[in-house]
Amino acid sequence: MTSLRAQTQTILRHPNVLRFIAGRTLATLAAQIQIVAVGWQMYDSTGDPLHLGLIGLSQFIPFVTLILPAGHAADHYNRARIVTTCYLTNATCALALLLITLRGVQSVWPIFLVMMLLGASRAFSMPGSQSLLPNLVPTDLFSRVVAMNSSSVQFANIIGPAVGGVIYLAGPSVVYASVMGLALAAATMMFGIRGATEQSNATREPLSLHNLLSGLKFVRSRPIVLGAISLDLFAVLFGGATALLPMFASDILHVGPSGLGLLRTAPGIGAAACGLLLALSPISRHVGPWMFGGVAVFGVATIVFGLSTNFYLSVLALIVLGAADMVSVYVRQLLVQLDTPDFIRGRVSAVAAVFVGASNELGDFESGLMAKWWGAVRAVIIGGVATLLVTGLWTRLFPVLWRMQEFPKKR
């Protein structure tokens, strides 16, 4: 415990780390508060589950279009400034949603346009922030910093949806005003980071197809990295149920917007608790089995949530789902960051972000479309079963990842 306390105090003595974690946490809190309002407002206005899926698709299209140039930018420009600009963009989007709400939602398309701008912002913030973090602390503290950062972000995932559901009772305009303030605070934190990105951005290469695709080529040459991020892609693509939470809260569990906030909070509770355990006792052995086990439990928890008609059982299933997802995310982030040289880390993070973004936004669209065809319950159950099938298949396609015992040394 003395050694752990000493390492924690050492981490806290790095002001850039504190600013980074504070900025990420505030930005995540803003996003979680906002998504509750957007989802409920959209479903309340249209009653169509497909529109819930379109919220994700409208973010995914600009995200996947811009992510490779964003990775190139992260390797050639100040990463902290890139993320700061993205958080300012998020504040602008919250202001736009506030104005749309005050004028009255006469059409859903302006909301989709704002979601597209948020998707573009996320395209640049993900590789920028992911490639920035390894430069903020020494290698021996990196795994604990990753866990601490993930735990802090998941804390925001815990309180964000619940706060969003409660604030929504005062009206969506109050939600969007609060989100704008949080996003501005996040931008202020990230703007304060100094001296952490200059070395990796010292040599700038011209924007070209070769440079844009270099991250993809690197990932293809690394079966461990490719297996880790593709497993996350297909598992969450099929197993994601969060896009349908407004439908479950309204039509199946009958708990209203405050209940929706608690449902969105539940995965964050599991993830934050798991992240805290990982910060106290990082995974150091049986890396591959830990990752596959996390994804398998994620699939089982998804099936339980789909079958449940009891609010408390549904919350418990989502807590387990969040904890399992945290294990796989933790392992994947360390694998990608430790096995990638700094000069190309932004472009590799961009490729990883494509997979993560596809599993989230495109997965939301898939869930909405499946719910439109077969209903929310069948869509979630089928998705959970598909996640388990993918997990089993990936043990055969990437045996080196399945048998991996230790993390690679930082390159």
Residue labelled with tokens 């407002």: 41
Residue 232 lies inside a defined structural domain of this protein: yes
How confident is the model over 44-66, as pLDDT tens digits? 666 666 666 677 778 878 887 88
CA dist 34 and 1 (Å) reads 39
- More confident of the two residues 260 and 184: 184
Output the average pLDDT for the chain: 80
Per-residue tokens: 368: 């909405």
Residue 216 has a CB neighbour count (10 Å cut-off) of 17
Give the pLDDT band of residue 159 (cuts 50, 70, 90): confident
**388 located within any domain:** yes
Collapsed DSSP state (helix, strand, coil) of residue 195: coil
Q: Is residue 94 situated within a structural domain?
A: yes
Q: Is 311 exposed, middle or buried (0-12, 13-18, 19+ CB in 10 A)?
A: middle
Using CB atoms within 10 Å of the CB of residue 219, give its burial: 0 to 12 exposed, 13 to 18 middle, 19+ buried.
buried
Using an 8 Å Cβ cutoff, are 282 and 141 in contact? no
Contacts of 305 (CB under 8 A, 6+ apart): 241, 314, 317, 318, 321, 380, 384
Range of the domain at 252: 8-195+207-402
Tell me whether residue 136 is in a domain: yes
Assess if residue 2 is contained within a domain: no
Residue for token pair 């990883």? 352
What would the mean pLDDT of 14-29 be, rounded to a whole number? Answer: 88
Residue 170's SS3 state is coil
How many residues are there in the chain?
411
State the amino acid at position 215 in one-letter form.
G
CB 384 within 8 A of CB 303: yes
CATH of the domain at 265: 1.20.1250.20
- 347, part of any domain: yes
Confirm whether 300 is domain-assigned. Answer: yes
In whole angstroms, what is the distance from residue 250 CA to residue 166 CA?
16
pTM score: 0.69
pLDDT confidence tier of residue 181, bands split at 50, 70 and 90: very high
Confidence of residue 200 (pLDDT cuts 50, 70, 90): very low
How many domains does one find in the chain?
1
Q: Is the pLDDT of residue 136 over 60?
A: yes
| Amino acid in the structure at residue 116 | M
Task: Decide if 70 is inside a domain.
Answer: yes
Q: How many other β-carbons are positioned within 10 Å of the β-carbon of residue 109?
A: 9
